[in-house]
Structure 1
Amino acid sequence: MIRLLKFFWWSCVAVFCGLLLGLSGAFLYLSPTLPSVDSLRSIQLQIPLRVYSSDEKLIAEFGEMRRTPIQFADIPKDFIQALLSAEDDNFANHYGVDVSSLMRAASQLLKTGHIQSGGSTITMQVAKNYFLTSERSFSRKITEILLALQIERELSKDEILELYVNKIYLGNRAYGIEAAAQVYYGKSIRDLSLGQMAMIAGLPKAPSRYNPLMDPVRSKERRDWILGRMFRLGKIDETRYKAALAEPIDARYHVQTPELAAPYIAEMARAEMVGRFGSAAYTDGFRVTTTVPSDLQLAANKAVQDGLISYDQRHGYRGPETRYPNMTREAWLQELPKYRTLGSLEPAVVSQVESSGILVLTRDGKEEAVAWDSMKWARPFINSNSMGARPQKPSDVVQVGDLVRVQRQEDGSLRFSQVPSAQSALVSLDPNNGAIRALVGGFAFEQSNYNRAAQAKRQPGSSFKPFIYSAALDAGFTPASLVNDAPIVFVDEYLDKVWRPKNDTNTFLGPIRLREALYKSRNLVSIRLLQTIGIDYALNYVSRFGFNKQELPRNLSLALGTANLTPMEIVTGWSTFANGGYKIRPYLIQRIESRDGEVLFTANPPSAAAATQDAEPRTQTAEEATGGSGADEAKDPQAPAVAERIVDPRTTYILTSMLQDVIKRGTGRRALAMGRGDIAGKTGTTNDSKDSWFSGYNADYVTSVWAGFDQPETLGRSEFGGTVALPIWMSYMSAALKGKPEHAPAEPDGIISLRVDPVSGRAAPPGSPDAYFELFKSEDSPPPMSEIEPGMSAPGSPLPSDEAAPIDLF
């Protein structure tokens, strides 16, 4: 018997020594390859890129992982107890490895021949999640154990738990408990009930199996088991235990929806961040604050969508997007989710047609009424210039099973509509520094993510003429200069063909003052101006505004806006008119912060306001001058960068006065409804009405709007810049300027106002009938009529009188 006991004793010692030697050998073999546990203190978890408006409204989030790290002090005690009860109830007592759990896992392996559980503690899971793969092997398990022992020696229990809860995957792209709480319950982990916390605590074991969205029954069983463990371990009392068990399974999918719909802005910010930081932009937790206020962006969204819908409905109804006749209500509900809401237009299936209107089935399963009054516009579309007969009843428009679009009104009612086939873009800047205040690149980003505001190059038509007029004013012309509005034929060496330009009305007014020619948008006057000042001079002059000289047509058609330019390029050039002659560059990102709140970048754009305040100019480096955002990084917040002056301020002041007349008495008269005297602008319409433009400003905002088709085609014979683009501009600018006092550019020194004879354009003597006041640069003021002698230049003309006289009619 004694011999048997001795044998058993020495056998146990041998096994123990063997295990000890094996572990020691494994440690000596693996320890050189073990990563430094100290790196856990500075670990950088993946956090998505978040983009915000200037007033801190979330615009978008970019990144594969949804994660919001939380500090240990902010984790509710109930959640910690629920997690430990589920995953590692001996966490407070062990030193990284729980021998009983490992023995239990080994026993399961011997019985079944398969690994049932790893026997891992939370510390071992931290080691695996941060340093190892999910490979199931003995070598990896030994490495995991060794790392866990090191982690316990170097980190506190609180630090280990904080690392664990912020790293674990909990389903639906949620990493960490705070992200999971937001995804499943739409609120912070601190605001969850005991039952909800137990539900989250049950996910680490198997996020797909115990997911409350995928399998509510199994997830409830897991939750109740955890609550039972908490009760048996004395972590909660019976009252709380029973109350938590009675809680319903109320988890549902919560996506962190943007607080501000600005997808084109979000994409521009994302692209710039990737350009700056590469793929780290998606994972390093950057917080980007843009220059866009939420109220202006919402006004821009509404203006573009309402303007396109209004244009679209003027040209008739193109029919349903598709038809689902002879189908059940349940079948319709299965089809509707295939169609996304575009802009403000929801998909719906016509379920009933009555004499007073129709009933439609929406995606949420509700049947709602659409009044006949909202359908009367729906004459059959034939082409952009013609429509069919006006409908007399709802059945003339739709049939049961038609998939249509409806627009929800402020009172909750539905209006019949359709997705516009035309597109539009709007860009609004602060003319003083180029800050983008609003941008819309199309009717709906979900329909097309093509950013027409920044990417679509289209002919600006007459909205380009102010650049030619500005060049002429700087060349010595005045608003009172007379130019002949008469037919002309050119054989242009660059066009290599005969060109007979004409006005859009096919009428001719003869000798006409520049001011009147601009607000009446006379094409032939613009051409004669360009012919007089010269192509080379004009190209060099216009390129100051930021246009690529190589991309501008080197012929007289430049005067009619035949260059291909984006709305962003146009609005940038127009900013010079609004700010008194300074060149600015558009920029979008105002500030970039790190995950820790450290400010990494603050925009310091070249500013016209800084120049007018007599700030000392700051020389820009080559890197700053070519910065991607259009704004310079602030090195000294007290020394703002000064914008470069590119145009005489008197020129922009006089041109603004002329452009104000476009609204008071010209092609932009519709804008008089805004009731403001400080706005100036110009319409633009290209041949066959393929492109519609309006650009305009006061001293606070400069905004350009384009509307047309992606594949150029006519908007219709009665559609122009003043009917399509201008209403969109008015809607946005009315909202942007609401409640703001009138703010026109200040008058610079060197401007004089003289009474001018309307026929001759010369300074009128006292008592002259019909004389009016005109603005001039002091050196360009016309002489009195009595001082004009033969051979002198015509009023305000930079050329000899024989060259400046009105060209003979053909």
Structure 2
Amino acid sequence: MKYIKYLILFIIVSTIVGSIALVGIYFYIKPDLPSVTVLKDVRLQTPMRIYTHDGKLISQYGVKRRIPVKLEEVPQELIDAVIATEDSRFYDHYGIDPIGIMRAAFNLAITGEKQQGASTLSMQLARGFFLTREKTYIRKIKEIFIALHMEQELSKQEILELYLNKVELGHRSFGFGAAAQVYYGKPLAKLNLAQIATLAGLPQAPSVLNPISRPQRSVERRRIVLLRMLDEKLITRAQFDDAVSQPVTARKHGAEIELDAPYLADLIYAEMIEIYGKEEAETGGYQVYATAPSHLQEAAQDAVVRNIHDYDERHGYRGPIDYLWNQPVVEDESVNSEAERADAQTQQAAASKTRAEWDNEAIIAALKQIESYSPLIPAVVLEVKEQSITVLDENEQTRVIEWAGLDWARPYITDSRQGNEPERAAQIVTEGAVIHIRMQDEQWRLAQIPDVSGAFVAIDPQNGAVQAVVGGYSFYQSQFNRATQAKRQVGSNIKPFVYSAALEHGYTLASVINDAPINQWNANTGVAWRPENSPAEYDGPIRMRKALGKSKNVVSVRLLRGVGLDATVKHIARFGFNEQEIPRDETVSLGSGSHSPLEMVRAMSVIANGGFLVKPYFIDNIQDEYGKVLWEANPVWACDPCSGPTGEAEVKDIEALLAEQLNQEQSLVATDKKEAKPSAPRVISAQNAFLVSEMMRTGVRANGSWNNKTYWLGTGWRARNILQREDIAGKTGTTNDSRDTWFSGFHHSLVATAWLGFDDMNRKLGRATRNQNLINRNPEKYNWIGNALVGSEDGAKAAGPAWIRFMQVALQDVPYSPMPIPEDIVRVRIDRTTGKLTRRTDHTTLFEYFLQGTEPKSYIREDEIIDPAELESTDESEPEEVF
């Protein structure tokens, strides 16, 4: 009895001391315990995902991969596997498992090592959210208290859902939704039992049990999981036998990117960082939907890449990247002695490997080191035939490149000089040469990394929603976004705004301006300014419509003089340009100002939408990880009125309106619904916009009659001939020495601007000579939007093809819809030469649009009429081919 009393006393004392110690420990760690608010509002660190407007994933930002899933979306087999393996008494305990703790304590007493953690799912979740994996007693105690606290505040189902989304599972995947994508490239619902068991075995040690890094250990762990499920009667023996015999099918998958659009994604990412901060934006689980639909973004990217390669190819081939064998001997010009030169050549030849020294594995390894960007693929030439080559690419595929993929590759000499057309493949490459190849029109062809750059941007002119943006050839080559950041001289792209100013000051489409050389002496500089047309041809008196269509430089200068420099600059600023960036001299009329493609497309949208200045924006809406809309764009619209007063009063106070709009940046603020549709400020009248668009329509087509000698081509005439549409308008742009080339144009539902040039502003785009190989391939019809273009590079040849190819896709299913004719616009018949009224109805006349009250008042006299058909032509050539 004496010993029993001591034992009872010991138990009582131990219980009291233990309780006091437990209370003391609780109060000691209490400051570290999470609050009830935190537990009930746990936010998963989910990466930001960016989608196109129609829901295609284009990018994901954030170190941790997480795809949140609701409990009802998780396969029951996975829930069973996790509970059976990690916490079989999950539904029976209150956060801690006494049996498990006693087993772990007994194991510690026997072995002296902390081999078993006895952690329940609640304890693992507590550790995952609030603690570390460090194996210390204090951490375990904290884990227990947090788990108990968590069980009081959350239901078992809530704890299980949090666990399934939070647990670390290796390769930066957190939660089973992300793990299914990382290891198998599938959603959870499409995994089989073997794959589910593999994932369920990862929480114990994801770094050493995952099927990518340690496939054999993963198989062993999978078997343990399946045995636990079998013991718990959650699967049958047949299911166990089938699953345990399955091969390892896991491999690392990236984010399931459906459309790689990095320039667009980067713009949206930067805006999200600016609003939310980097950490919150990357981990807040935001799902951001762009304004751009996938088919237009993809069309723009394809158009820019194709256009850059077209320019690059017509200027010649710069040669192979390197040689794996058959290394050509290069003479060292610094060596003077013949003997020394011969010795150097012998050493080079000896150092060059032979074909026999390169097996396929070594070739592939060498190709993997070659710098490359999509769509280019590094390859080595294995065989050279008369007019074809066989190559092995870095993807271990053997390709045959036929003559149609090689015949463009005449030698590059300078940007303005190319060598002779090749006749045999051996004149282009030799065996052992390392080259680039790419796919075009379902055919492999020789390629090279282009030197030239390009940019493209398209917006909806009705509200400014960006429909596509491309900032260069490859984001992975250069992250500089030329569509939004590059300020380049715009050349003749500025002329529609100069002509718009002229219309505001009494000019009409029928006004006749003298297209004759200008020679103006500047006494201050002692230099004469002699602006020239390009080409340097002058037509004498010419109507405004025709002058803009043919992009007459001297006419633009004379219109600026007629309006006045200050008035012209202020009018150009109405289109959204920063007035401080507009040159204050007459060169502004020729496009000496520097603006970005985004600024240009915004300005062009004013003409396309009937006179309203909209603001480009990239984000349509932002949702949380569960699809709840947090914010929606509420742009200004080109409507009169939308939900408020608009009209001519706004035009008079445009400077104040523009200043206000520049200061009111869109902020991404949580909202339950959109505000009423706001009206964009009207910056020019609907009549002015219509008349400018009419002039721009003639710039993208062939006009008049060849037989009656009234035929003339707009500078962008290929657009109408290829697109076969009358409801488009556009303007080319070329700067001095062709350093920058532009093409801006629109259908009234879509505006786009294309730019092509070198990043080095001092480098000229040069010229291309005729490549007879390309003509021989299709002698009856030149490819006017491809490599057969010859002569000096300009806006129509260099930038125009990208715009045309994009519009071929964008307008494919858009019905014919011309610009609506505003009120107060009249149409009268005028004389083609003088712009006066006429009573004739033959080829010497045409119908023209006027703002009511500005139409001509006098009729042409018979002795003033000039019939082009009766004039002797000085041009015996046929017109450029039109198709």
Instruction: Calculate the TM-score normalised by the size of structure 2.
Output: 0.84
Q: 1:514 aligns with which of 536, 544, 556?
A: 544
Deviation at 1:200, TM superposition (A): 0.5
- How does 1:111-126 map onto structure 2 within 5 Å? 114-126=113-125
Q: 1:654 aligns with which of 677, 691, 694?
A: 691
Deviations 1:478-502 (A, max 9, x none): 1222222222223458978432211
- How does 1:588-627 map onto structure 2 within 5 Å? 588-608=618-638, 610-611=639-640, 616-617=645-646, 626-627=663-664
CA, structure 1 residues 392+158, in 2 after alignment: closer, same or farther (shift >3 Å)?
Answer: same
Give the partner amino acid of 2:757.
G
Deviation at 1:648, TM superposition (A): 2.1
Q: 2:815 aligns with which of 733, 741, 751?
A: 741
CA, structure 1 residues 154+257, in 2 after alignment: closer, same or farther (shift >3 Å)?
Answer: closer
2:437 corresponding residue in structure 1: 406
1:772 corresponding residue in structure 2: 846
Deviations 1:529-548 (A, max 9, x none): 11221111011111000001
Please say which of residues 78-87 and 289-298 is displaced more in the overlay. Answer: 78-87
Give the partner amino acid of 1:61.
Q
Q: 1:388 aligns with which of 413, 419, 425?
A: 419
* SS of equivalent to 1:477: coil
Deviation at 1:705, TM superposition (A): 0.7
CA, structure 1 residues 410+248, in 2 after alignment: closer, same or farther (shift >3 Å)?
Answer: farther
Is 1:354 the counterpart of 2:377? The answer is no
Distance in 2 between residues matched to 1:119 and 1:306, nearest whole Å: 61
* SS of equivalent to 1:438: strand
Deviations 1:318-338 (A, max 9, x none): 112333333332122223334
Deviations 1:122-176 (A, max 9, x none): 2211222222233433222222212222223333322222221111111111110
Distance in 1 between residues matched to 2:561 and 2:102, nearest whole Å: 95
Contact 2:512 2:835 in 1 (8 A): yes
2:342 corresponding residue in structure 1: none
CA, structure 1 residues 462+75, in 2 after alignment: closer, same or farther (shift >3 Å)?
Answer: same
Deviation at 1:362, TM superposition (A): 2.3
- Unaligned 5+ runs, structure 2: 326-352, 651-656, 702-712, 768-791, 862-883
1:166 corresponding residue in structure 2: 165
Deviation at 1:189, TM superposition (A): 1.9
Deviations 1:324-368 (A, max 9, x none): 333332122223334465232222222333335222222322222
Give the partner amino acid of 1:401.
G
Deviation at 1:623, TM superposition (A): 8.7
1:714 corresponding residue in structure 2: 764
Q: 1:487 aligns with which of 517, 529, 535?
A: 517
Give the partner amino acid of 1:700.
S
Distance in 2 between residues matched to 1:356 and 1:516, nearest whole Å: 47
Is 1:670 the counterpart of 2:718? The answer is yes
Distance in 2 between residues matched to 1:148 and 1:496, nearest whole Å: 87
CA, structure 1 residues 630+674, in 2 after alignment: closer, same or farther (shift >3 Å)?
Answer: farther
Distance in 1 between residues matched to 2:665 and 2:256, nearest whole Å: 28
CA, structure 1 residues 355+103, in 2 after alignment: closer, same or farther (shift >3 Å)?
Answer: farther
Is 1:363 the counterpart of 2:412? The answer is no
Q: 1:781 aligns with which of 855, 861, 866?
A: 855
CA, structure 1 residues 8+392, in 2 after alignment: closer, same or farther (shift >3 Å)?
Answer: same
CA, structure 1 residues 415+493, in 2 after alignment: closer, same or farther (shift >3 Å)?
Answer: same
Q: 1:328 aligns with which of 335, 351, 359?
A: 359
Please say which of residues 211-220 and 368-377 is displaced more in the overlay. Answer: 368-377
Q: 1:698 aligns with which of 747, 751, 772?
A: 747
Contact 2:39 2:153 in 1 (8 A): no
Contact 2:643 2:677 in 1 (8 A): no
CA, structure 1 residues 522+630, in 2 after alignment: closer, same or farther (shift >3 Å)?
Answer: farther
Deviation at 1:731, TM superposition (A): 0.9
* SS of equivalent to 2:498: helix
CA, structure 1 residues 28+698, in 2 after alignment: closer, same or farther (shift >3 Å)?
Answer: closer
* SS of equivalent to 1:583: coil
Deviations 1:261-304 (A, max 9, x none): 32211111111122222232212222222221111112112211
Distance in 2 between residues matched to 1:654 and 1:607, nearest whole Å: 21
Deviations 1:584-624 (A, max 9, x none): 1111211222234332222222211x326786559999997
CA, structure 1 residues 691+769, in 2 after alignment: closer, same or farther (shift >3 Å)?
Answer: closer
CA, structure 1 residues 100+723, in 2 after alignment: closer, same or farther (shift >3 Å)?
Answer: same
Contact 1:663 1:669 in 2 (8 A): yes
Is 1:288 the counterpart of 2:288? The answer is yes
Distance in 1 between residues matched to 2:671 and 2:568, nearest whole Å: 35
Please say which of residues 186-195 and 147-156 is displaced more in the overlay. Answer: 147-156
Please say which of residues 691-700 and 21-30 is displaced more in the overlay. Answer: 21-30
CA, structure 1 residues 85+742, in 2 after alignment: closer, same or farther (shift >3 Å)?
Answer: same
CA, structure 1 residues 767+231, in 2 after alignment: closer, same or farther (shift >3 Å)?
Answer: closer
CA, structure 1 residues 523+756, in 2 after alignment: closer, same or farther (shift >3 Å)?
Answer: same
Deviation at 1:33, TM superposition (A): 4.6
Q: 1:686 aligns with which of 732, 735, 753?
A: 735
- Quote the sequence identity (%): 41
Deviation at 1:660, TM superposition (A): 1.2
Distance in 2 between residues matched to 1:462 and 1:624, nearest whole Å: 27
Contact 1:38 1:154 in 2 (8 A): no
Give the partner amino acid of 2:457.
V
Give the partner amino acid of 2:689.
T
Is 1:726 the counterpart of 2:800? The answer is yes
Give the partner amino acid of 1:666.
G
Contact 1:585 1:630 in 2 (8 A): no
2:306 corresponding residue in structure 1: 306
Is 1:263 the counterpart of 2:312? The answer is no
1:59 corresponding residue in structure 2: 58
RMSD, matched Cα: 2.8
Give the partner amino acid of 1:777.
L
Contact 1:343 1:443 in 2 (8 A): no
* SS of equivalent to 1:576: helix
Give the partner amino acid of 2:847.
F
CA, structure 1 residues 79+769, in 2 after alignment: closer, same or farther (shift >3 Å)?
Answer: closer
Give the partner amino acid of 1:750.
D
CA, structure 1 residues 40+112, in 2 after alignment: closer, same or farther (shift >3 Å)?
Answer: same
* SS of equivalent to 1:265: helix
Deviations 1:686-712 (A, max 9, x none): 111111111111211111111111112
Distance in 2 between residues matched to 1:236 and 1:760, nearest whole Å: 92
Instruction: Calculate the TM-score normalised by the size of structure 1.
Output: 0.91
Distance in 2 between residues matched to 1:380 and 1:626, nearest whole Å: 52
1:555 corresponding residue in structure 2: 585
Is 1:432 the counterpart of 2:462? The answer is yes
1:808 corresponding residue in structure 2: none
1:804 corresponding residue in structure 2: none
Is 1:578 the counterpart of 2:608? The answer is yes
Contact 1:169 1:176 in 2 (8 A): yes
CA, structure 1 residues 482+58, in 2 after alignment: closer, same or farther (shift >3 Å)?
Answer: same
CA, structure 1 residues 486+120, in 2 after alignment: closer, same or farther (shift >3 Å)?
Answer: same
Give the partner amino acid of 1:663.
V
CA, structure 1 residues 481+225, in 2 after alignment: closer, same or farther (shift >3 Å)?
Answer: same
CA, structure 1 residues 527+115, in 2 after alignment: closer, same or farther (shift >3 Å)?
Answer: same
CA, structure 1 residues 496+443, in 2 after alignment: closer, same or farther (shift >3 Å)?
Answer: farther
2:206 corresponding residue in structure 1: 207
Instruction: Give the number of equivalent residue pairs.
Output: 785
Deviations 1:47-103 (A, max 9, x none): 121222221212222122211222223322221222123222232333322334334
Contact 1:209 1:215 in 2 (8 A): yes
1:35 corresponding residue in structure 2: 34
Contact 1:676 1:742 in 2 (8 A): yes
Distance in 2 between residues matched to 1:104 and 1:31, nearest whole Å: 27
